[in-house]
A and B are shown apart, each in its own frame.
Chain A
Amino acid sequence: MSPVSDDAPRDAGEEKLVGVVLVSHSAAVAESVARLATGLAGGGATAPVLPAGGTPDGGLGTSPELVAEAAHAVDRGAGVAVLVDLGSAVLTVKALLAEGDELPEGSRLVDAPLVEGAVAAVVAASAGADVDAVARAAEEAYDYRKV
């Protein structure tokens, strides 16, 4: 485990970026949130982001296989931040993490609302933040009250 660093992007130019996986019961939701987050992250290079929504047959649900596949596909060696919607998505990712070798090293479940958290995570990851800082940025979304 690397120590928690500050929120600022790390200084090396060729820093590996944290990957982001967005898990929803719905493929359409996961894909749309991924597009929204990368769109709002602005121009320039963005961190690798992939949706893992629904079941392999196109139904509603969570697929451990799709989650693991997406996590490996976005892994650049700097850790993977996994954001989820609810229920079995949370349990599935927790269980995959407990397995130890199903998800890439440095993967973590981020405790954040899916949409707001995804935007914050992708912005932070694209700026070169490490996985702890990416998670913190996403978690802060809970503190932003709307009323």
Chain B
Amino acid sequence: MSTSASSRESAGEPVLDTAFFHRWLTAAAAAVSREATRLTELDSAIGDADHGSNMQRGFAAVTAALEKEPPGTPGAALVLAGRQLISKVGGASGPLYGTLLRRAGKALGDDERITVRQLAEALRTGVDAVAQLGGSAPGDKTMLDALVPAVDALAAGGGSFAAASEAADKGALATVPMLARKGRASYLGERSIGHQDPGATSSALLFAALAEVAA
């Protein structure tokens, strides 16, 4: 990891507390809900047209659980969210996003306040777990195409959430000309080309929500 001394300072302060994570997940739920129709439209082109409703249902369960049993640490908030997504959403998005958040949460440990660098590293752990679970890599036209550049930007850019969100958006857009190699879209072969991947699109929403609450 190459980080300059100045960025190490700005990314090294333990500034993110549990309330921040609560706000992030709540904002993510709102974004997913707002964009549910668009996610389902993208998914109806190359998938099974349930991505919007699955994400909406999953994140509604996340916000309900956060209210019901407020977690005491950032890590616990992400683990709680991941668990809800895994146990409540049956589409591929549930296990994949659930694994992302749960692994990231576990990587954060019990700290009550964490640094942006810690978050970047924890998200990297989560993204690696998603790649392993799905057996996929960047370039396969999946959520990884937004997640990997976003985490790279967060780790390299001195902890800028705005830069991470921008990288995720670009990554999602870059899936349009890609040939799908995973999931139902891969059965379409060349016909998957020309459509933006719904999973990469919802991944970008998570980072947009992060930038929104950090602003």
The answer to whether A and B interact is yes
Interface residues of A in 1-45 (CB under 8 A from B): none
CB distance from B186 to the nearest CB of A (A): 10
A61 and B86 in contact, given A87-B184, A95-B98 (Cβ under 8 angstroms): no
Q: Is A64 an interface residue (CB 8 A)?
A: yes
Total residue contacts A-B, CB cutoff 8 A: 55
Are A98 and B99 in contact, CB atoms less than 8 angstroms apart?
yes
Q: Does B181 contact A (CB under 8 A)?
A: no
Taking CB atoms, residues of chain B closer than 8 Å to A99 are 83, 86-87, 102
Cβ B184 vs Cβ A92 within 8 A: no
> In the complex, what's the smallest C-beta–C-beta distance from B199 to chain A, in angstroms?
12
* CB of B96 within 8 Å of the partner chain: yes
The answer to whether B94 and A95 touch across the interface, beta carbons within 8 angstroms, is yes
Q: By DSSP majority rule, is chain B's interface helix, strand, loop, or mixed? A: helix
Q: Are B87 and A94 in contact (CB under 8 A)?
A: no
Q: How far is the CB of A7 from chain B (nearest CB, A)?
A: 29
- A62 beta carbon closer than 8 Å to chain B: yes
Q: How far is the CA of A87 from the CA of B89 in the complex (A)?
A: 14
Per-residue interface assignment for chain B, residues 19 to 32, with 1 indicating a CB less than 8 Å from any chain A CB and 0 otherwise: 00000000000000
Main SS class of interface, A = helix
Q: Is the CB of A61 within 8 A of B133?
A: no
Interface membership of B70, Cβ < 8 A: no
Contact of A61 among B88, B90, B96, B102 (CB under 8 A): B90
B134 — nearest CB in chain A belongs to which residue?
A91
Q: Which one of A55, A61, A68, A88 lies within 8 Å of B95 (CB-CB)?
A: A88
CB distance from A17 to the nearest CB of B (A): 27
The one of A55, A60, A64, A87 that contacts B86, using a Cβ cutoff of 8 Å: A64
- A interface, how many residues as a size bin? 10 to 19
| CA gap between A43 and B82 in the complex, in Å | 44
Give Cα A87 to B91, complex, Å. Answer: 9
Interface centre among A63, A65, A95, A99 (most CB of B within 10 A): A95
> Is the CB–CB distance between A92 and B88 below 8 Å?
no
Bound together, the chains give a CA A95 to CA B89 distance in angstroms of: 11
Name the A residues within 8 Å of B145 (CB-CB): none
Q: Answer whether residue A96 sits at the interface, using C-beta atoms and an 8 A cutoff.
A: yes
- Answer yes or no: B92 CB below 8 A from chain A CBs: yes
Contact residues in B for A68 (Cβ distance below 8 Å): 87
The answer to whether residues A64 and B184 also contact, given A91-B134, A94-B133, A102-B87 and a CB cut-off of 8 A, is no
- Does B138 make an interface contact (CB < 8 A)? no
B86 contacts across to A, CB distance below 8 A: 64, 92, 95-96, 99, 102
Cβ-defined contact, A64 with B94, below 8 A: yes
- From residue A78, how far is it (CB to closest CB) to chain B in Å? 24
B90 pairs with A88, CB closer than 8 A: yes
A103 CB, nearest partner CB in chain B, Å: 11
- With a CB–CB cut-off of 8 A, which chain B residues contact A98? 99, 133
Q: Once the chains bind, are B90 and A64 in contact (CB under 8 Å)?
A: yes
Which residues of A from 63 to 91 have beta carbons under 8 Å from B? 63-65, 68, 87-88, 91
Which residues in window 41-60 of B have CB below 8 A to A? Answer: 48, 50
The 10 closest A-B pairs by CB, nearest first: A95-B95, A62-B90, A91-B95, A88-B92, A63-B90, A95-B86, A61-B90, A64-B87, A91-B92, A92-B95
Interface residues in chain B, defined as those with a beta carbon under 8 Å from any beta carbon in chain A: 48, 50, 83, 86-92, 94-96, 98-99, 102, 133-134, 183-184
